[in-house]
Structure formats: C-alpha cells, structure tokens
Amino acid sequence: MKKVLVTGGAGFLGSHLCEKLLEEGNEVICLDNFFTGSKKNIEHMLDHHYFEVIRHDVTYPISLEVDEIYNLACPASPPHYQFDPVQTTKTSVLGAINMLDLANKCKAKILQASTSEVYGDPEVHPQPETYRGAVSTTGIRACYDEGKRCAETLFFDYYRQHELRIKVMRIFNTYGPNMDPYDGRVVSNFIVQALKGEDITIYGDGSQTRSFCYVSDLINGMVRLMNSDEHITGPINVGNPKEFSMYELATIVLDLTGSKSEIVYRKLPQDDPLQRKPVIELAKRDLGWEPSIELKEGLLKTIEYFKSVV
C-alpha cells in the first residue's frame, strides 16, 4: 500500500483519480482548498478507511509523509482561472515549488498535471511534445498558460538539481462526470444549454477544433505515467487525437440530447486557440496507452450526469 497525495483532489480530474487510487488499494490524501473543487465529488469516498481530506491551499507549504504526489491543484477553465489571475499564477508556481519541496523531503515520486495550453495557439498541428508553443505572455490566458509552463521548468530543475523522480503530463481537453456544469468549458456549456433548451453558443465561426478525451481514459494514462519506468519523465501528451470542430461538437450534443436549441455565434475570445490535437506516439510507446472511449459514448455518459445536476 502506497500513501498518495492528490492536490486538487476534490476537482473534476482529482476526484476520479482519488477513486482510482483507492480501488487499487492505496491510502489517499485529498488536498483541496475547494475554490473550484466540490465536496459532492468526493462525498462517496468520505467513509473509506484509507481516504483522508485536508482543506489546504498549495500556495502555502505543508508537511506530510507520502510516497507519491499527483499535483493537480489549479483552476483549469478560463472563467475560473481568469477570475483571480494572480492567484492562478501563484497556484501553478508556488504550488509546484511547495509540492516539489515536499517530494524532495519525503523522497517521493511526483507527477505534474500540465496542460496542452503550454502550446498556446499552435503554429504546428498536431502538437508533439517537442513543439515549444506560441504563447502570449501578456494575454488574459497567460496566468494559466505561463504558470503551467513555469511549473514544468521547476519540475525539470528539481530533477536535475535534486535528482527528484518526476513525471510531467500534458493534458488535452478532457470531459466526463464531475465536471462543473458552469465552468465555461465547451462540453459543459453545450450540454447544459442543450438540456435547458437555451441557445448553443459557439465562439468564433465554429471551425476551430479540439480533441476530447473521456475522463476514465485520461486517468488511466495518468496512473500509467506515474507507474512507468524511472527514466520516463515526460513531458508526455495524454489526450484523444480525434479532432472535432466546435460546430461538429454542437450538432452531436443536439442529436444526443434531442434538444431543439438553436446554434448562435459570438466573438472569439482573446488568445483562444484555433486548433488543438495531440500527437500521442510517446504515450503509445512508453506507456502502452491510447484512448478507448469514442466521443459519442463518452458524451452520453456525461449527459446522464448533467441531467442529475442541472
């Protein structure tokens, strides 16, 4: 049995990760300040003998004894991370420093939940891990994008300077149960609008693309990366390489929900990427991982979840 710390453990991804780690027989500490995390996401685990919850902000140090750390703490949707951009940057940078210091003290292995946002609005498509990105350091998304880029830098500096065992995972768009219905992400937006019979809002002309990975596939990739050989540090892309335009996604959601909502178009937000698709050859080769759940199958599960919360 390993003692595993999950920062951001009450969030969308964190709650699924905690569940997976408990199923595998680990002792799990969920650390969250509940800014975007929800107690509802973890309430079914609260009576588990090997599950513990600590309310704590990762921008402040904490002393624990653990074997592994999954660092997921950070608001991940634009409305949430732009609400307090200074705190978002602090969460990524100071949070990384504090968790790396803890890992160094405990001689623990540590995984950073990085993001495809480090590629910015990419000039290379699809995006391999070798691509360095096209990111605005002064735009409204920079608090998240640059915070995550700096966190990656810190992970590799600790790896070189302290010989810390690190794993860096670049997460592409992920969806599924436990998403906040009002987090401003495209999947949750479209499903909630469709279920309520409201207009489906597409920003831009609908031709911009994303690649959508179902949450269980993503979590399987994350755990495989943590358990991979010591020499595999990443960065490594984990996501679904099947690409869909925003218009295609909207029409699929309308079809699956049976909604009569109309599609309307609004101005594209500043620095919003026009394309996003991962190259996952490293994940296939080094982790033996690739996604297995098709978009319609995952959306049906997600729609059922949203029916119970909106």
Burial class (CB in 10 A: 0-12, 13-18, 19+), 234: buried
Contact 291, 230 (CB under 8 A): no
Q: For residue 155, how many other CB atoms are within 10 A of its CB?
A: 26
Q: For residue 162, how many other CB atoms are within 10 A of its CB?
A: 14
- Active-site residue set: 144
Pairing of strands 263-266, 200-203: parallel
If you write DSSP's letter for every residue of 16-63 in order, what string do you get? HHHHHHHHTT-EEEEEE--SS--HHHHGGGTT-TTEEEEE--TTS---
Cα–Cα separations (whole angstroms), residue 140 to 124, 208, 212: 22, 19, 23
For the chain, give percent helix, strand, coil, nearest 5: 40, 20, 40
Nearest Cα to 165, choosing from 114, 104, 86? Answer: 104
Question: How far is residue 172's CA from residue 212's CA, in Å, rounded to a whole number?
Answer: 7
Question: How far is residue 114's CA from residue 72's CA, in Å, rounded to a whole number?
Answer: 8
